[in-house]
Structure 1
């Protein structure tokens, strides 16, 4: 298969990616020779014990951090070839982020928060697309509200809409339900599942929750900075059982 065909079918690819913090005897290997491919239109969950390298994996895949060695591609773009200015522009224009902390600007309305990435990159707001995104996240009657006037679940919906409005190649979600109660968390997970199914969005989600992971097509397990296993469309029970055995790997 040609490189062009691979890039068309692939949203993110990591090849032999390692990340080492510190030097000498104080060096800590957070990622160790990780290679993985994420198909376009897929929903992947990343799990592992504390300190397994989950956050470092997400940061390297999203271009938030540079690996010590190895390569990361977003589509056909090799992130290691980009200078910092170009990498910043790529993150703003081709990547969407959803974090546990909603990271909304309190002085801006819901609509202003959603469209902020477009304004920062000098792009016009596509009103039809904005209406579709807002309708799908259930915020049609909240556009003029401030974040302080919304529930936690509604604020996370704003964050998801903000990540979607740029039509990103990939949406990265870091513990997106960590600050939400169980019922609201399931609503947000259902929404992430919908953006994959309905919009063909690619989602990579880091989570510690087996229930959250079960919404994904594929669950990837990290242990000691290395890929330990993967499961496809598993139940929460199967995910939880696999997590308990990671220490034996």
Structure 2
């Protein structure tokens, strides 16, 4: 497992009588960019929550950065998430009263770690916002705010970045810029796992994993938007309507 950043083994997650995940086996290589797709109700969000240690599976195991999450106490799990996992969501979740630089520094301060201003500046330069470090989020465009969120996610040097619909609130051109930024981060050795409904976004990944009814329903390497869209069309027909929201 040394070359795997994340590994799910026979993961099941039940909410009452409903199986949101039903025996998922997946691995995500270090330095890889994987998109996770599926129809509404396929279990995408539940997968992300279990893989990132935000929720514990009903059964099965999740290994992240060499650690079996089931063996960790809540305190150690919180520390692992804080130190080794980055999160980017559709909502930028920036604090409006803090400057761009202060938002990026926040994970370090919450962890009680020393803030290296040069490292923060490097992260902002990486996302193309070094000159806007003193601006407030409200003074930035949506795409720029998402860039700040990415810098904030990367500042702790995580092993894995989980992205949940990171381009969902952005226009096409800005979305392409954000995806190119994630791709560039992967080339630097980061592992990215991205949940998306957009075939164009998924085509920026190395591979696409498809979920349907809480199960792995296939995967695709070297994806193109057309092939991804066609596969999604078939998945929607196969999965039908599920009871669990994705």
TM-score with structure 1 setting the length? 0.93
Secondary structure in 1 aligned to 2:6?
A: strand
Distance in 2 between the 1:167 and 1:83 partners?
22
Larger relative CO (CA 8 A, sep 6+): 1 or 2? Answer: 2
Alignment partner, residue 65 of structure 2: 75
Pair 1:193 & 2:183 matched: yes
- Mind listing any 5+ residue stretches in structure 1 that lack a counterpart? 1-5
Distance in 2 between the 1:166 and 1:39 partners?
20
- Mind listing any 5+ residue stretches in structure 2 that lack a counterpart? 240-246
1:15 to 9, 18, 25: 9
TM-score with structure 2 setting the length? 0.94
- Deviation, 1:132, is 2.3
1:165 to 144, 155, 161: 155
Pair 1:177 & 2:171 matched: no
1:84 to 74, 80, 83: 74
Alignment partner, residue 220 of structure 1: 209
Alignment partner, residue 242 of structure 2: none
2:146 to 150, 156, 161: 156
Secondary structure in 1 aligned to 2:82?
A: helix
Alignment partner, residue 221 of structure 2: 232
Distance in 2 between the 1:228 and 1:115 partners?
40
Secondary structure in 1 aligned to 2:86?
A: strand
Secondary structure in 2 aligned to 1:200?
A: coil
Q: RMSD across aligned C-alpha pairs, in angstroms?
A: 1.0
Runs ≥4 residues deviating over 2 A = 125-132
